[in-house]
């Protein structure tokens, strides 16, 4: 019976290690790399306005590219995602972005479990290494910007 318990504990040690490594790699110099500009400010301002007026919108911010001269928009869900992290951070951009980074760290668990079930444990470990240590993911999980939500989910 103790072998079963120790196997379950060992099973979770690796994902917990990667969560801690994920947080550590992004926390180093977080305040120096932190930026909150352009689309991030516009979205946060809109979310604050929606929060204060107790309004709901079905249309989100527009995307950068146009199709046949028309703008393409995200859905209102991107404002909802912003709202969650802005509320956790009390509408402080730095704290809200850090909360988003912690959320991304927790996404290692479904990444590990899903990859392990769909492929195998070695693939799950490789995915955790890539998600934790690749510069692309370090950058994208350290900024609270609406396209990055899609990667974390």
Radius of gyration from C-alpha coordinates of the chain: 18
Q: Given a cut of 80, is residue 6 above it in pLDDT?
A: no
* pTM for the structure as a whole: 0.85
Sign of the alpha-carbon dihedral angle for 99, 101, 102, 103:
positive
User: Within a 10 A sphere around the Cβ of 57, how many other Cβ atoms?
Assistant: 13
Crossing angle between the packed helical segments 77-88 and 39-53, to the nearest 10 degrees? 80
| Secondary structure of residue 141 in the 3-state scheme | coil
The mean pLDDT value for 100-108 works out to: 94
Give tens-digit pLDDT for 20-68.
999 999 999 898 888 888 888 888 999 999 999 999 998 888 877 788 8
Beta bridge partners of 73: 62
């Amino acid at each position: 019976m103790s072998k079963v318990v120790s196997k379950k504990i060992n099973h979770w040690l690796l994902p917990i290690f990667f969560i801690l490594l994920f947080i550590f790699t992004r926390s180093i110099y977080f305040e120096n790399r932190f930026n909150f500009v352009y689309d991030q400010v516009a979205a946060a301002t809109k979310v604050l306005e929606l929060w204060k007026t107790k309004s709901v919108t079905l249309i989100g911010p527009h995307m950068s590219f146009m199709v046949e001269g028309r703008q393409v928009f995200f859905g209102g869900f991107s404002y909802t995602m912003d709202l969650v992290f802005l509320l956790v951070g009390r509408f402080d951009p730095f704290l809200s972005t850090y909360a988003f980074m912690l959320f991304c760290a927790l996404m290692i668990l479904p990444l590990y479990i899903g990859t392990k079930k769909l492929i195998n444990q070695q693939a799950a470990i490789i995915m955790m290494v890539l998600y934790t240590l690749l510069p692309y993911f370090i950058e994208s999980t350290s900024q609270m910007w609406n396209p990055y939500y899609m990667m974390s989910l």
